[in-house]
């Protein structure tokens, strides 16, 4: 039997994603008997807000997890690698936002709209996918079930909030300085991000792709559970605060018309279609900020191949791309009776 209420840890609670996790738990009235915010020693003693109350941040250590039922991690790959196994050993179910566990065959990689059934084989650590991957698979899955996806070519336009609070501050500061004719410094990113586009997200690999690009390739196959789906990606940082946008070209096995796609996506969970060219209406990053859904528009047939489609996919990277998807995983664990009293 599931317990009715759970003790929930938010690990990395002072970060951009951790803050949104606290807000999301509160907004969705997650059944928490207690919420315990954790971060590094640097932030211990600071307070964070939850349901109008001040909660004191405690340092995350290997001993922090006794008596905690579920821990939502967003403290980066290093801390996740170090602390998630200790948490799982203490009987706490970890839902991890970092890249540390995503491709581990022992860890389900879950988007609740796409593969909730993968939660059934969890062994204590569940991975939350990369933000760009999450919003793409939410929109791809309904087309895949109907017509079989063969190949996807995606280019992303990613907001700076994906790299945390320091990056949000860097874009703001550079913009302000440039508008005042002052010199800028680039610290978080290797080049100026204000009024610019950087065709690099995360580190380069030997083959010329970046880690972010390969996350989209590998995670899509794992989540959708079909190794025949071929994905190739170019990921780009743009001077936007919140909301990732993606231009996606799709080749399917069976023919889908643009109207078929609109009908399928209009009925899909977690998707809102915004596709009214006559009204100049299409999804935009600034409208996605603070919203839960994945927005899809600019749906067109690509007539250069037999079964081709183009579309434009936008979502709030900190919400559906991170905090909301993590909380939805925890909610789905409860629904499937997978969060149990030890």
Catalytic residue positions, numbered: 131, 244
| Nearest-approach distance from CB 20 to ligand L14, in angstroms | 13
Q: Does 220 bind ligand L14 (CB under 6 A)?
A: no
Beta-bridge mates of residue 250: 152, 309
Could you tell me how many residues of this chain bind ligand L14 (CB under 6 A)?
A: 8
Report DSSP letters for 218-267, one per residue: HHHHHHHT-TT-EEEEEEEE-S-SS-EEEEEEEEESS---HHHHHHHHHT
Q: Give which of ligand L14, ligand 25A, none residue 158 binds (C-beta under 5 to 8 Å, depending on kind).
A: ligand L14
Q: Is 163 a binder of ligand L14 (CB under 6 A)?
A: yes
Measuring CA to CA, which residue among 152, 160, 323 is closest to residue 246?
Answer: 152
Tokens of 182: 């002052």
Q: Which helix (H) or strand (E) holds 72?
A: strand 70-73
Q: Which is nearer to ligand L14, 158 or 272 (CB)?
A: 158
Calculate the alpha carbon distances from 77 to 8, 153, 157 in Å.
20, 27, 23
Among 35, 131, 198, 299, contact with ligand L14 (rule: CB under 6 A):
131
Q: Which does 60 bind (CB under 5 to 8 A by kind): ligand L14, ligand 25A, none?
A: ligand 25A
Provide the pairing of β-strand 6-11 with 244-252.
unpaired
Q: Determine the interface stretch with ligand 25A among 13-21, 173-181, 270-278, 330-338 (rule: CB under 6 A).
A: 13-21
Q: How far apart are the C-alpha atoms of 21 and 128, rounded to whole Å?
A: 13
Q: Minimum Å distance from CB 28 to ligand 25A?
A: 18
14 touches ligand 25A by CB under 6 A? yes
Figure out which of the listed residues 14, 43, 64, 99 binds ligand L14, where binding follows CB under 6 A: 99
Nearest to residue 23, comparing CAs of 341, 316, 244, 332?
316
Other C-beta atoms within 10 Å of 18: how many?
28
CB 210, min distance to ligand 25A, A:
12
The least CB distance from residue 136 to ligand L14, in Å, is: 13
- Contact segment (CB under 6 A) with ligand L14 among 31-39, 139-147, 155-163, 327-335 equals 155-163
Q: Which of ligand L14, ligand 25A, none does 201 bind, CB closer than 5 to 8 A by kind?
A: ligand L14
95 binds ligand 25A (CB under 6 A): no
- Helix orientation angle between 324-335 and 16-27, rounded to the nearest 10 degrees: 40
Rounded least distance, CB 104 to ligand L14, Å? 14
Report CA torsion sign: 52, 58, 59, 64.
negative
The one of ligand L14, ligand 25A, none whose footprint includes residue 14, by CB under 5 to 8 A per kind, is ligand 25A
CB hemisphere CA count around 188 (13 angstroms): 20
Q: Minimal distance in Å, beta carbon 161 to ligand L14? A: 8
What backbone phi and psi angles, to 5 degrees, belong to 69?
A: -85, -40
Residues that bind ligand L14 (CB under 6 A): 99, 130-131, 158, 162-163, 201, 215
Residues that bind ligand 25A (CB under 6 A): 12-18, 39-40, 42-43, 60, 74-77, 79, 97-99, 131, 162, 164-165, 321-322
């Amino acid at each position: 039997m599931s317990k009715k209420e759970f003790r929930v840890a938010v690990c990395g609670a002072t970060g951009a994603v951790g803050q949104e996790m606290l807000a999301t738990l509160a907004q969705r009235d997650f059944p928490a008997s207690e919420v315990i915010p954790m971060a590094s020693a640097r932030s211990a003693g600071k307070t964070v807000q939850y349901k109008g109350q001040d909660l004191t941040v405690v340092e995350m250590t290997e001993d922090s997890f006794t008596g905690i039922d579920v821990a939502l991690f967003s403290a980066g790959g290093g801390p996740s690698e170090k602390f998630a196994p200790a948490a799982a050993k203490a009987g706490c179910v970890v839902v991890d936002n970092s890249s540390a566990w995503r491709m581990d065959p022992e860890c389900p990689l879950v988007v609740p709209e796409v593969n909730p059934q993968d939660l059934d084989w969890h062994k204590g650590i569940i991975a939350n996918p990369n933000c760009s991957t999450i919003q793409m698979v939410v929109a791809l899955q309904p087309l895949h079930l109907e017509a079989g996806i063969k190949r996807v070519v995606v280019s992303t336009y990613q907001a700076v909030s994906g790299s945390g609070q320091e990056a949000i501050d860097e874009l703001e500061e550079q913009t302000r300085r440039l508008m005042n004719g002052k010199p800028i410094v680039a610290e978080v990113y290797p080049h100026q991000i204000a009024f610019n586009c950087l065709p690099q997200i995360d580190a380069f690999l030997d083959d010329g792709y970046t880690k972010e690009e390969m996350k989209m390739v590998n995670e899509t196959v794992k989540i959708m559970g079909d190794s025949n789906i071929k994905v190739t990606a170019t990921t780009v940082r743009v001077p936007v605060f919140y909301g990732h946008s993606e231009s996606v070209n799709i080749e399917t096995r069976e023919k889908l018309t643009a109207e078929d796609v609109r009908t399928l996506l209009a009925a899909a969970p977690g998707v809102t279609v915004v596709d009214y060219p006559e009204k100049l209406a299409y999804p935009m990053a600034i409208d996605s900020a603070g919203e839960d859904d994945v927005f899809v528009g600019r749906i067109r047939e690509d007539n250069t191949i037999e079964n081709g489609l183009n579309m434009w996919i936008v979502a709030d990277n900190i919400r559906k791309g991170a905090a909301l998807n993590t909380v939805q995983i925890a909610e789905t664990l409860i629904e499937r009776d997978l969060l149990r009293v030890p």
